[in-house]
A and B are shown apart, each in its own frame.
Chain A
Amino acid sequence: MIPEWLVPTILTIITAATPLVFAAVGEAVAEKSGVLNLGVEGMMVIGAFAAFAVGVSSGSAILAILAGAAAGLLMALIFGVLTLYLMSNQVATGLALTIFGLGLSALLGYGFVGKTFGGLPKLDIPGISEIPVIGPIFFGQDFLVYLSVAAVIGVNWFLFKTRSGMLVRAVGENHEAAHSIGYSVTLIRLGAVLFGGAMAGLGGAYLSIVYTPLWVENMTAGRGWIALALVVFASWRPWRAFFGAYLFGGITIIQLHAQGLGIDIASQFLSMLPYLATIVVLVLISRDTTKVQLSAPACLGKNFHASG
């Protein structure tokens, strides 16, 4: 007998994890190319705003999603120009990008407070989506959830199985060497940063049109920072980041259930649990220090300037 709460709980976990998956996978690519972009929260919140604004104005979910990705990409472009061409400090620029994103979205979003959006249609294959448990979980999601899984598979394949992916890793590992054999470090990094921005924007779009289909200031509430932490603790592996996002989402939801069931543990402790458990598990997975050192991009956070 399958307990009644099982399926709804898993569905809630998927919703909670998906924005983190998008943002973390995008940031993993940017960091693999050697660029540390701390502006994930800012790109996400701008993506959330843009998607919601376009969705409400046009009524089209597809346009909303595209707008979210495009807005994240534009934010990343600002970051890319500043750090890759004007050589500004990556940490400071990333922080500024977050503050800028939160402020700008609040300013532009003022008129959108109080509006609602219909959300995304869910996949519905007659006969298959109705299969108990498996149906609703695997064949009853909205298409962004499938896209997030596809992104993990795609990025993993791209980074570790393709020549272009190897180039991205190469400029992150040793930009001098990559430059000396004739590759444009700056262009490759810009591409990776833009991809990261678009993915963060998609994560934001998921928040404002599916997760909680409304716009309120600061609605990302720190999820960009969690995605950043996931990347590092997952030692830059897309699958581990995916696993980390689901673990984090899962424990968040399960602790809420534990409270509802009246399990007598301090709620403050339960609120802390997702952070604690995710860090512990990911650190345990990645405990082989030599491997971690190998997977950490050696040029992470270092600016590159072709001096020749």
Chain B
Amino acid sequence: MRKLRYLTSLTGGILAAAMLVASGSALAAEKMKVGFVYVGPIGDHGWSYEHNQGRLAVENAFSDKVKTTYVEKVAEGADAARVIDKLASTGHKLIFTTSFGYMNPTLRVAKKRKNVMFEHATGFKRSNNVSTYSARFYEGRYVVGKIVGKMTKSNIIGYVGSFPIPEVIRGINATFLAARSVNPKVKIKVVWVSSWFDPGKEADAAKTLIDQGADIIMQHTDSPAPVQVAEKRGKWAVGQASDMHAFGPKAQLTAIIDNWSPYYVARTKAVLDGTWKSMDTWGGFKSGMVTLAKYNKAIPADVVALAKQTHQGIINGTIHPFAGPVKDQSGKVRVKAGEKPDDGMLAGMNFYVEGIDGSIPK
């Protein structure tokens, strides 16, 4: 009997000690936890890399209040739901899911975890605790389009595409409209590699485009391989998602850079302040979500001036890349003269504008 009592008191003591430790860690864990889910490796030097830069900005801004966690290379689909739920169930208050394919998994987990706030990148479905956000990369493409239209000698712009989704089509159209506005002879050649990330294939596509006469290589894929090919062949290139200057110091005209930091910091602050609400954000030049890398010194001053003027015009709202009249390949008017398209039309864009050769793969 005595032995038993001794045992119970011992157990009690251990339990009490355990609780003390637990409460101690609870005190230390006053820091709010913020989770990030990435589709690629943070070392891709492109899409996931930039999201991770945003995470680091959050850590910097609230180093005493916030602790961040990230999970990289999470496949889109069922596996994603498991990872998101794991973050939600381990005390994360705010979770950023940073790829289009996480849309349904995010919503499913959010329905179950009502006390957790979610932020889904590039999607269009929201709920009380799920916000969506994306960037108007096409604004960057439009400025780039003015530059490449002026810079090309062969009048052929090579474009390495990933998948024919509206996001990518919009970029091709914005580039072409801008290039045509300064150079009526310019043509755009698109080659699809059916992958977001395959350095070898992206390089092959860039070589192919150069062999077919392109003297400027643009890309909507995530590796710096196309920029590197352009550098080697003495052609121009435009970096994607990150500044790819290191891979093409002579070739890179500029790069369209995703800058998620201001948004991530603002949204984390909103949760800390208790003012977070579900909303949709589509930021561009104006909010700093899209920026351009330093212009190449080889670009003539008048072209730089034109680019800067276009950039400023988009910020002021005096220039819209898809201001009417915009016609599709069949000549049908998609945006009337004097009008601007609404975001719904932009988000679902599935046609090439008039003047582009070839058709969108179905």
Contact = CB atoms under 8 A, between A and B. Distances in A.
A221 B200 contact: yes
B257 interface: no
A113 B40 CA distance: 14
Given A114-B246, A259-B190, A260-B191, A221 B198 contact: yes
Interface in B180-195: 189-195
Nearest to B44: A216
Interface residues of A, number: 39
Contact of B199 (A110, A214, A252): A214
B211 A12 contact: yes
A8 to B, nearest CB: 4
B212 A266 contact: no
A189 to B, nearest CB: 31
Given A113-B43, A212-B228, A16 B190 contact: no
A205 to B, nearest CB: 14
Given A262-B357, A262-B358, A267-B192, A216 B208 contact: no
Contact of B362 (A9, A214, A253, A266): A266
Interface string A80-109: 000000000000000000000000001001
Given A259-B190, A271-B194, A212 B361 contact: no
Interface in B184-238: 189-195, 197-205, 207-212, 223-225, 228, 232
A260 B45 contact: no
Given A261-B212, A267-B192, A106 B43 contact: yes
A252 B203 CA distance: 12
Contacts of B361: 266-268
A217 interface: yes
A268 B223 CA distance: 20
B208 A256 contact: yes
A158 B41 CA distance: 42
A202 B223 CA distance: 22
A256 B246 contact: no
A113 to B, nearest CB: 4
Contacts of B199: 212, 214, 216, 219, 221
A257 B208 contact: yes
Given A16-B200, A214-B228, A219-B199, A260 B208 contact: yes
21 contacts: A5-B211, A8-B210, A12-B204, A12-B208, A109-B43, A113-B45, A114-B45, A116-B228, A212-B199, A212-B225, A212-B228, A216-B224, A217-B44, A218-B197, A252-B201, A257-B208, A257-B211, A259-B192, A266-B362, A271-B193, A271-B194
Interface of B: 41, 43-45, 158, 164, 189-195, 197-205, 207-212, 223-225, 228, 232, 246-247, 357-359, 361-362
